[in-house]
Amino acid sequence: MQPMTRGPYTASLLSGDSDLTEAQALRHLAFRRPVLAGAAGEAAHSAAGARGHDGDAFDPLCRHLVVREGTGALVACCRVLGFAAGQDLSASYAAQVYDLTGLSAFPGHRMELGRFCLHPARHDPDILRLIWGALTAIVDADGVAMLFGCSSFVGADPAPHLPALAALPPYVGPAAYIPGPRAAERVGFPAGPGTAAGLPPLLRTYLTMGGWVSDHAVIDRDLDTLHVFTALPIAQIPAARARALRAIAAP
């Protein structure tokens, strides 16, 4: 993928270990630090990010997409890992907590999207538009038929998330591909009308583009989050949304 620019932001695939170190620091800030606010917000965020990093054994296997603003500061990142049609998915991050035997038989190229995050002090929607445009370029170049990954609720305690989880049963995926249970700590979706207001932004994006979810969530004590497996068949993305994404991705 060639570098891609929108306004003051540029998206590119990382070019070396220094980029990865910065991405891991941003991930630490987004996933492993409490939310910081107030007058010292941005400075405190930056200092906190410099003191830690979020890395794991999957990083060397993945391509890492980063977004920088004009100053060179890293404002967003994610990682992707591709799987050929019919390839077993046991080497994916999601397979550590979900049984993906059914989805392994999917007859198309799949790509796992993980550690998707923005700098907590950045709220410009152009950052999200650009990173999704860059992902669209990768999906089209690789012939990806399905994106999948884990969408995270902040906080491992299921109780505050139950109203949002109750909104998910209509989006549970097809029986042939739906993930089976693997994690020791998991939560079923409660009955009731539910409310989409508490859904994480990434999960809402997946669902509005035609995505589907697992039938249960997984508790992650390490990241203090609740994960829901999410899959997005590329063919299900509404035509208008696909055109808009490809317009961003166009040279």
Dihedral sign, Cα of residue 58, residue 64, residue 70, residue 72: positive
Q: Per-residue pLDDT tens for 38-78? A: 333 444 444 444 468 899 999 999 999 999 999 999 999 99
The pLDDT value given to residue 19: 78
According to the model, what pLDDT value does residue 46 have?
47
DSSP state of 28: I
Do 204 and 118 meet the contact criterion of CB atoms below 8 Å apart? no
The rounded distance, in Å, linking the Cα atoms of 184 and 244 is: 41
Q: Which H/E stretch holds residue 91?
A: none
Nearest to 113 by CA among 221, 10, 209: 209
Q: What domains are defined for the chain?
A: 4-249 (3.40.630.30)
Q: Say if residue 2's pLDDT is above 80.
A: yes
Q: Tell me, what's the pLDDT at 251?
A: 77
Residue 234: what pLDDT? 97
Query: In this prediction, what percent of the chain has a pLDDT beyond 90?
Result: 83
For residue 124, name the pLDDT band (cuts at 50, 70, 90).
very high
Lowest-confidence pick of 26-35, 44-53, 136-145, 146-155: 44-53
Residue 102 pLDDT greater than 80, yes or no: yes
Q: What is the pLDDT of the chain when averaged over all its residues?
A: 91
Predicted pLDDT at 15: 77
- Taking CA atoms, 160 is separated from 166, 168, 230, in Å, by 11, 15, 20
Q: Name which residue leads in pLDDT, 37 or 24.
A: 24
**pLDDT, tens digit (0-9, with 9 covering 90-100), for 205-243:** 999 999 999 999 999 999 999 999 999 999 999 999 999
Q: pLDDT at position 31, please?
A: 87
For residues 71-87, give the mean pLDDT: 95
